[in-house]
Structure 1
């Protein structure tokens, strides 16, 4: 029987790859046999490009021929789903997806499932907890399922809990499956800790779960690290040498702003590149993926939104502008390159700001005890929608949604038709667990710094960081064979990069709607903000995440930084923003926002602008009724309630013309919105907000 399975599996593999002479890589058939003949639970940890998808597609075909039901493939990213469906079609596997972009096709997909015309159903981990899917479709699927596949299984682990909390509930799904249903988990990025964690989630111990682990070295990759002093020099290096890099590739940035700004700068200098971030429209992302695969662009300038599963076998290079926070993440991203080619270049250009960015993302994702308890207390037996809950608990939408997912996985709340309810189950903040996660992240960040500083083989370092026992010198990286990359920067490129980073001015879109729920908090408004009370479009010098002026602003607003007058060079940059504003009517006066945290900064900025612009400075708005309550940012309804009727224009001779309203930083924009309403009521025909920094 084993011989017959191997022959059938080999035929299916050759159909999949389109080559009659194809054969299994080490471990591929072992995994297929375990799933098909042994109906086992298996974890495959193999380098990118090894052929993990071949294992589950071939196993699916063989199981279906034995009368098994469809395979359910839990897949984390839309780009990955698209590639998996295309690969399935080549092997004669009928694959369909249910995800956030194809809701119009769901009825057809479900009808195909009912007719048993689907071999593989691809779903996102979030879909498994959609109330309608979970209650109406999942029980039937569980009864009929032929195999469960969890792709990018490292997301089950604590290492990835904040990327996809829903992965952690897969253990519950696995627990519902009959014992004879095989389960496969696959990943290219797992150290020993993650392997043990994933094995536990699969429902057993390391001994009970078959782990097939291969060497992670990638002989096609030529690794290097180039230390440059600042963002301008990194961009100048790209301008000087992007065309020298082989083929087409990916340039990774750590933030959305950095990706967008870098793409714009390179395009302006004649390079054919596109930005690709989590904020890019879904259709544009799909179009960009196709253009890169067809070599119609030199590079995509991407955040981590372009990562797992993107498949371009001949990708020629991966460059990082700033280091990811761990060798695991770095290996995941550089693994996009050189899958089916003998050579691919991988270069890291670390930045001095990397540690700050790592810290921000690490702390932003961790559940907060007080917030969690507030959410649980606000929920009961009657479903509450996320927008309505947002107005009750004073937590902004994105962190609230993440917190709800974590609490859902922990069993404290449950998503149902119409919103969220409390389960009544006891919930305790697992401080020990979260401190362990934080400690592991700090250790991984330190490993990434050590990767940059090592004088040993870089591929060997990555392998050891991933607990690969086969780690050995590669003979190709910059430490093994000498620097393979140019280090010089052209004078023109340096000037162009400096000019690009010196660009100033970011629009501040005015708020036009009062937040839902504000009226329930005692604020007598709802719906659209009256036109005669609205602020006009404003300007910020820069975003705090910008590559250029973001750096100086981050120093000004750093925790513990002293309140001080605005630096002369920053004031000069602000004047350039004002000079290029292009307003319909020049402001006739300047008003400062009252500030408790940085009064010297705001006062000096407002006075400096007024003096240079030869405009009267009317002074600051006053505080009324004790001044604003609550912290900046936060939930919109609570923020407006804490600001309502807390500003006063009494004592200011507000003219009828446009007034420039000056503040230090904008986050939710509600302070500017409510203050603008106060000035409009005092007689200003328009209010033009201006701030130094814009968050986000």
Structure 2
């Protein structure tokens, strides 16, 4: 177990991928089974005639969808269609990616329409997947449309098509189910006329699922509101027994039985392996040396944005055709990167899980992970993107020593705490009207992302509601379900241990069997291909030249830190005033700091690990304090040498620290000595000040630091005499507000400009 403290990475994988290419999804093409595939079981004699006609019509639609005159159903596909169309049942389909789940709901939707039912309503979690499915449906003659936040300008046209009964399939995002205007104006009609409800990626419904999304929990209420006789289909490729039971329970709303169809989840084309080479530099060196030997083109997954950017930069400098793909990548660049991979114009995308559900490249030749996801189920979902239409594909995990720290972040930030929930509910109860998220953020000490997640969870429990103008409390009684959240937390820990078990697998084990066992697949069996069943199939050597290049790349220092330009909303409600006036809007240019620098981010592959060690609390939770280590001091000198400022600084000041005073002062005085800069000293610290809470959101952080510092008379007098920038030193940059407020004081005291410098940043 690592003794490092929890690290709060700034930009974890977040954005969904952009649009797909113009090919139909592979699960439509894969609906064509091998010629020796067994036919579905024959129906009972009592319904033979009607079922025979229904099957004939379904097969005809399938052949239109695929463009193949010889297409026929996989075992189980028609059974699901029959359950929906002939029996109007509720069905849960758990089948591997590429099995043909979308073919099931497209065909069932058309059969329902031909029987006089209304359009199918499909809840899909990703805008990119939604757009791709709409395009595929339209090419196959299915009239499809989508309502989501990305196509607001098309809503009126889609409403007119619905009024004219000219839509067969309507996609909506789960977030629309929470939007008050959509709930009031669109959802009642859709529920009233719906001929089939489909829940795609249904594992998102369950908070036991690896990709739980609170908005999805609204679907339980939606199912309960459906008119009698409307069939419901839920589909997923990644659900273990606990998730299946949870989804079944929600689908059974109203006392309905659920027909569950589970198939074998193993993909015969995948060859799995684990290679533990140790340090980040050795992992990248191995990849730089052997990437071109991997089959076709593929994906290199990293756990953090910084890690993906570092890896992409190194691989590109080694001559490989790769592109980064993260939540920090511009949307247009993400789309271009996807297209480049699909056209095999690059060897790989180096990605976070931003390249997530729905990305479709049937001939993807490999998936490599630089660091392990936190559960076998999440890992299975990502590696399952390879080998969907190829006879073989390689899957390799290169585990990292930092994996546990990243898992800890996700595990501890996924569910609400009672203190946060109570604070939000109390604030809404006192407000007397709706509060927007920014307004609420200014009243409760919770950051924007966790606050939005908490509101969604509370909305699912019915104690808050999103209305026109913001959020309100419903007044319904609510009790924090500590036992439930403790069970979920325990399950997350068990999943992490299972992932470590996958990495350590040996002897008579099997990696594919291990993954499918984790999904409670009754068909789980030895694959005969992985590096445990057979011999390791991957090379292990790393040349000195590649290792040296990797180490040099990871030794890069000097990450820019953008200055704050706008004050956060709600500062007036927290009593933050400047010269008696509210602090809001743009920060005047004369009070802003310049772009700063840190040695590295805590999430970087190179210096990130050493900096995490430096800032980790000891066994008693205290912050160790000591002068800057020599190697880190040398890195700071390299940062200064490569800064490229327009005007060289002339003096150094620093932010007073209660937790690491020796570290900060030694950094500042060391920089002054090396650069021959004047030492202005520390800003003054307000009496009674206590260590800052790093979890504070922007508005509260500004409140906490607003009166925390002052510039003494001696420093003010000297600032008025200096001609040139001042370096402002701190140890760790988190929100950037400490340096923004301290820098503002220096600017107002006469500093020509202020250049922030710190050892590390969280963001």
Whether the aligned pair in 2 keeps the contact of 1:627 and 1:647 (CA below 8 Å) is no
Calculate the TM-score normalised by the size of structure 1.
0.97
Moved more, 572-581 or 521-530: 521-530
- Provide the rounded CA distance (Å) in 2 between the counterparts of 1:616 and 1:333: 54
Q: Which residue of 2 aligns with 1:382?
A: 433
What's the offset of the Cα at 1:269? 2.5
Q: 1:430 aligns with which of 481, 498, 505?
A: 481
Q: Secondary structure at the match of 2:527?
A: coil
Q: Secondary structure at the match of 2:598?
A: strand
- Provide the rounded CA distance (Å) in 1 between the counterparts of 2:302 and 2:182: 36
Moved more, 603-612 or 4-13: 603-612
Whether the aligned pair in 2 keeps the contact of 1:240 and 1:493 (CA below 8 Å) is yes
What's the offset of the Cα at 1:629? 7.6
- Provide the rounded CA distance (Å) in 2 between the counterparts of 1:459 and 1:636: 45
What's the offset of the Cα at 1:203? 1.9
What's the offset of the Cα at 1:143? 0.3
Distance change (3 Å), C-alpha of 1:66 and 1:205: closer
Q: 1:419 aligns with which of 458, 462, 470?
A: 470
Q: 1:618 aligns with which of 669, 680, 684?
A: 680
How many residues are aligned here?
A: 696
Q: Which residue of 2 aligns with 1:300?
A: 349
Q: Which residue of 1 aligns with 2:135?
A: 86
Q: Which residue of 1 aligns with 2:551?
A: 498
Q: 2:631 aligns with which of 546, 554, 569?
A: 569
- Provide the rounded CA distance (Å) in 1 between the counterparts of 2:98 and 2:203: 17
Q: Secondary structure at the match of 1:552?
A: helix
Q: Which residue of 1 aligns with 2:33?
A: none
**Does residue 464 in structure 1 map to residue 526 in structure 2?**
no
Whether the aligned pair in 2 keeps the contact of 1:633 and 1:667 (CA below 8 Å) is no
Whether the aligned pair in 2 keeps the contact of 1:223 and 1:459 (CA below 8 Å) is yes
- Provide the rounded CA distance (Å) in 2 between the counterparts of 1:204 and 1:640: 47
Q: 2:532 aligns with which of 472, 479, 489?
A: 479
What's the offset of the Cα at 1:162? 6.8
- Provide the rounded CA distance (Å) in 2 between the counterparts of 1:89 and 1:559: 57
Q: Which residue of 2 aligns with 1:521?
A: 574
Q: Secondary structure at the match of 2:146?
A: strand
**Does residue 133 in structure 1 map to residue 182 in structure 2?**
yes
Q: Which residue of 2 aligns with 1:454?
A: 505
- Provide the rounded CA distance (Å) in 1 between the counterparts of 2:536 and 2:530: 8
Q: 2:405 aligns with which of 356, 366, 373?
A: 356
- Provide the rounded CA distance (Å) in 1 between the counterparts of 2:210 and 2:528: 36
What's the offset of the Cα at 1:639? 1.6
- CA deviations on 1:591-638 (whole Å, 9 max, x unpaired) are 121011111111111122112222222221111253368523522222
Moved more, 261-270 or 227-236: 261-270
- Provide the rounded CA distance (Å) in 2 between the counterparts of 1:113 and 1:138: 12
Question: Can you give the 5+ residue segments of structure 2 that lack an aligned partner in the other structure?
Answer: 1-49, 578-582
Q: 2:753 aligns with which of 658, 682, 686?
A: 686
Q: Which residue of 1 aligns with 2:744?
A: 677
Q: 2:283 aligns with which of 229, 234, 241?
A: 234
**Does residue 557 in structure 1 map to residue 624 in structure 2?**
no
1:116-515 residue pairs with structure 2 within 5 A? 116-160=165-209, 163-203=212-252, 208-380=257-429, 381-455=432-506, 456-515=509-568
Whether the aligned pair in 2 keeps the contact of 1:629 and 1:642 (CA below 8 Å) is no
Q: Secondary structure at the match of 2:271?
A: strand
What's the offset of the Cα at 1:161? 8.0
- Provide the rounded CA distance (Å) in 2 between the counterparts of 1:99 and 1:55: 23
Distance change (3 Å), C-alpha of 1:272 and 1:467: same
Q: Secondary structure at the match of 1:556?
A: helix
- Provide the rounded CA distance (Å) in 1 between the counterparts of 2:695 and 2:243: 36
What's the offset of the Cα at 1:248? 1.0
Q: 1:28 aligns with which of 64, 77, 94?
A: 77
- Provide the rounded CA distance (Å) in 2 between the counterparts of 1:517 and 1:640: 11
1:592-607 residue pairs with structure 2 within 5 A? 592-607=654-669
1:528-677 residue pairs with structure 2 within 5 A? 528-560=586-618, 561-627=623-689, 631-650=693-712, 651-652=714-715, 653-654=718-719, 655-656=721-722, 657-677=724-744
What's the offset of the Cα at 1:527? 1.8
Whether the aligned pair in 2 keeps the contact of 1:39 and 1:182 (CA below 8 Å) is yes
- Provide the rounded CA distance (Å) in 2 between the counterparts of 1:79 and 1:336: 16
Moved more, 537-546 or 559-568: 559-568
Moved more, 273-282 or 54-63: 273-282
Whether the aligned pair in 2 keeps the contact of 1:622 and 1:648 (CA below 8 Å) is yes
- Provide the rounded CA distance (Å) in 2 between the counterparts of 1:135 and 1:80: 26
- Provide the rounded CA distance (Å) in 1 between the counterparts of 2:254 and 2:399: 39
Q: Secondary structure at the match of 1:223?
A: strand
- CA deviations on 1:649-687 (whole Å, 9 max, x unpaired) are 214343523111110111111110111111122221111
Moved more, 475-484 or 293-302: 293-302
Q: Which residue of 2 aligns with 1:106?
A: 155
Moved more, 322-331 or 254-263: 254-263
- Provide the rounded CA distance (Å) in 1 between the counterparts of 2:691 and 2:544: 52
- Highest relative contact order (Cα 8 Å, sep 6+), 1 or 2? 2
Moved more, 539-548 or 610-619: 610-619
- Provide the rounded CA distance (Å) in 2 between the counterparts of 1:329 and 1:162: 8
1:3-14 residue pairs with structure 2 within 5 A? 3-14=52-63
Distance change (3 Å), C-alpha of 1:103 and 1:628: farther
Whether the aligned pair in 2 keeps the contact of 1:161 and 1:167 (CA below 8 Å) is no
Q: Secondary structure at the match of 1:393?
A: coil
- Provide the rounded CA distance (Å) in 2 between the counterparts of 1:421 and 1:501: 48
Q: Which residue of 1 aligns with 2:10?
A: none
- CA deviations on 1:217-272 (whole Å, 9 max, x unpaired) are 11100000000111111111111111111111111111111112212222233222
Whether the aligned pair in 1 keeps the contact of 2:281 and 2:550 (CA below 8 Å) is yes
- Provide the rounded CA distance (Å) in 1 between the counterparts of 2:410 and 2:330: 22
Tell me the C-alpha RMSD between the 2 structures. 1.7
Q: Which residue of 1 aligns with 2:4?
A: none
- Provide the rounded CA distance (Å) in 1 between the counterparts of 2:313 and 2:176: 35
Calculate the TM-score normalised by the size of structure 2.
0.89
Q: Which residue of 1 aligns with 2:51?
A: 2
What's the offset of the Cα at 1:286? 2.6
